Amino acid sequence: MNESTVARVALDDPFWGRFRETVTREGIPYQWKALNDQLDADAEPSRCMRNFRIAAGKEQGEFGGFVFQDSDVYKWLEGVAYSLRWKPDPALEAVADGAIEEITAAQQPDGYLDTYYIINGLDRRWTNLKDHHELYVAGHMIEAAVAYYRVTGKRALLDAAIRFVKHIDSVIGPEEGKLRGYPGHPVAEMALMRLYEVTGDPMHLKLAEYFVNERGKSPLFFEEEDARNGNGFYWKNSPFRYQYYQAGRPVRDQKDAEGHAVRAMYLYSGMADVARVTGDGSLARACRTLWESTVRRRMYVTGAVGSSEYGEAFTFDYDLPNDTVYGETCAAIGLVFFARRMLQLEPRAEYADVMERALYNGVISGMQLDGKRFFYVNPLEVVPEACEKDAHKRHVRPERQKWFGCACCPPNLIRLLASLEDYVATRSGDTLYVNLYVGGEIDGGALKLKMETNYPWQGDIRLRVTEAGDAPAAVALRIPGWCPGWTLALNGKALEPEVKDGYATVRRAWRAGDALSLALEMPARYVRAHSRIREDAGRVALQRGPVVYCLEEADNGGALHCVLTDTHAGIDAVYEPDTLGGVVTLTTGGFREPDGDPDDAPYRFGDAPETRPVRLRWIPYYAWANRGVGEMRVWVRA
């Protein structure tokens, strides 16, 4: 393994800067109101912060929400921490400090902290690891605590998390008298690895390693737990059974991405972290196997994963329907986590390509451009009437929602967008790998760079050296898989560097002022699906750079199933600063069939209907449903 670390980055980017400003200015305050049940009456209540006050004895009442409700505020706090890192705000920090006081006031003397069981009865805690998310909640608490400590230096939440982990270690593990359990919903694995980075406590590493290695071993803990405590098993007669939890077999024996997609992505991320830190080669190989299954055979063109509403799950290879897709926002976010950790295991551009695909498409599609409405499900084809009247499509919404009773996705979006610096570049030895083309300053240790670009709308990237040490070092620039051609110059002189694993690498003794100029060709191109993806037979998608496009009713009228795009005609790309916050739109030639026959008969004999020529206007997929309710489709008849 060629282990790498995350390089420090300070973002200053036109594209992502707008999203991050929206998150900070609108999203974080909006979500704080949601967590305190202060939104409009038609928004589903959260009850999250109220639960902490009840658990601390400050209010009277019953627990509200899902068993994992505490995790919403932890993800929000993590997002706040990263926001404060790039944009200090004393007032926001004071709000976060107050939230932490309310949280820690509910912690029990033995370190336990989960409001569901504190309110409903501590005698039942740790009796349903399979379904009741105690370790999931603990994981998100740890991640928030580490982030807040690293940014502010404040230890209140970190110390509370350490106490909680100490309690968990006293209850769960391989030792005699402990539960040989593990999380029903993974996240604690990668959270403990982040905690270990801060504390250096071997117990934190040991517990993370145990959770990964114990999973799925026979006799199966979840079966024994159900029998011992009388727990139900919802998935008993499903195709997944215990693979819904990625626990049907040990992780090294799992060959396909199966079961609940978010659980899978979080588990694989934790596996990659453990493999990297411990040097476990067999675990690293398992991660690569599961990566191949996920991205080569079970991922959408938008970077969405999890094709089935049933179980929010993976199904089988190339089963990627567009109109019944689940594609949960959290699953795409989890894929970004997994990709970054695979990059840390080994610097291969394919990991960064997938990370980029998810970020520019299936992740940010989950949030309205104003930061106040959200998608849980991210479809690739929508007919609003079907969403309302077809029971198999009721999970698909034609417009984003103000909030959800199960609101895992909105704060997850905030914490990822606010922490985007941590995904731009990695370091391995004396090589600095630039994985994402995002404007800002990169601290690669002895080598510091300033990157300037108008990506993803333009393919020109300039990197200027601001500081350099005496020893030679390498800069490795990712050549995206979508790019048909590129050029690279150093101080104005053309280079032909070696390209290995998708990175063009320049090694030299650098000097301040040296400038690398990378020009990526960025034509709009049609994408065709694998022949086994039945739903896309005879259809094409359209992509320019990392951005996937779609047709929307607002531009092209309804009945988009009657539209064909002319793949032999030219494609016009125009930047429109006043459209959807500033986007490149694409225009193609095409044809439209008539929408129905004069006699309204469902079938008829005869030739194919005559078509009329039309101009088709495509917008970035992430920006759909920002101009009212209407039809949308990514894959269009060719």
Whichever domain contains 217, its CATH number is 1.50.10.10
Residues 6+ apart with CB under 8 A from 531: 537
Beta bridge partners of 612: 592
Residue 209 counted as domain residue: yes
Between CA 461 and CA 580 the distance in angstroms is 24
Residues 285 and 312 placed together within one structural domain of the fold:
yes
Kindly state whether residues 508 and 549 are assigned to the same domain.
no
Q: Last residue of some domain: 362, 397, 423?
A: 423
How far CA 518 is from CA of 48, 461, 485, 545, 575, in Å, comes to 47, 5, 11, 14, 21
| List 134, 309, 312, 553, catalytic entry | 312
CATH number at residue 476: 2.60.40
- For residues 268 and 277, give the distance between their C-alpha atoms in angstroms, rounded to a whole number: 14
Query: In this structure, how many other beta carbons lie within 10 angstroms of the beta carbon of residue 552?
Result: 24
Q: What tokens were used for 258?
A: 């199966």
Residue finishing a domain among 405, 423, 441: 423
Does 312 map to a domain?
yes
Q: Which of 520, 553, 586 is the last residue of a domain?
A: 520
Active site annotation includes 408: yes
- Confidence (pLDDT) at 2: 54
Whether 339 maps to a domain, the answer reads yes
CA nearest to 83, candidates 42, 117, 33, 32? 32
Question: Which among 176, 83, 81, 580 is positioned nearest to 370, based on CA atoms?
Answer: 580
Residues of the chain with pLDDT under 70: 1-4
3-state DSSP assignment of residue 466: strand
Indicate if 87 and 186 belong to the same structural domain.
yes
Residue 5 lies in a domain: no
At residue 164's C-alpha, the angle toward residues 163 and 170, to 5°, is: 90
* Structural domain count of the chain: 3
Instruction: Please indicate, yes or no, whether residues 510 and 534 belong to a single structural domain of this protein.
Output: no
Inter-residue contact 436 to 423 (CB < 8 Å)? yes
- List the catalytic residue out of 48, 287, 387, 408: 408
Shared-domain flag, residues 408 and 450: no
User: Tell me, what amino acid is at 587?
Assistant: T
Q: Indicate if 587 and 457 belong to the same structural domain.
A: no
One domain for residues 454 and 535? no
In this structure, the answer to whether residues 335 and 433 fall within a common structural domain is: no
Q: Say if 3 falls within a structural domain.
A: no
10 Å CB burial of residue 226 (0-12, 13-18, 19+) is middle
- Is 6 part of a structural domain of the chain? no
Q: How far is CA 463 from CA 33, 203, 434, 522, in A?
A: 41, 42, 10, 19
Asked if 514 and 536 sit in the same domain, the reply is no
Name the burial class of residue 94, with classes exposed (0-12), middle (13-18) and buried (19+) by CB atoms within 10 angstroms of its CB: exposed
Distance of CA 493 to the CA centre of its chain: 39
Radius of gyration of the chain (CA): 25
**In terms of domains, do 325 and 255 share one?**
yes
Alpha-carbon gap, residue 48 to 72, rounded angstroms: 7
The verdict on 361 and 472 lying in the same domain is no
Closest CA to 527 of 284, 336, 320: 320
The rounded distance, in Å, linking the Cα atoms of 199 and 193 is 10
> Is the distance from CB of 144 to CB of 77 less than 8 angstroms?
yes
**Per-residue model confidence (pLDDT) at position 304:** 98
- Quote the domain boundaries for residue 362: 15-423
Residue listed under structure tokens 């699906």: 529
Q: Is 415 left (phi over 0), alpha (psi -120 to 50) or beta?
A: alpha
The pTM for the full model equals 0.97
Classify residue 613 as exposed, middle or buried by CB count within 10 Å of its CB (0-12, 13-18, 19+).
exposed
Question: What is the pLDDT at residue 329?
Answer: 96
The answer for residues whose C-beta is within 8 angstroms of residue 605's C-beta and 6 or more apart is none
Residues 83 and 101 in one domain: yes
73 closest CA partner among 33, 108, 41: 33
pLDDT (0 to 100) of residue 3: 61
**Residue 9 belongs to some domain of the structure:** no
The answer as to whether 2 is a domain residue is no
* DSSP string for residues in 505-528: EEEE---TT-EEEEEE---EEEE-
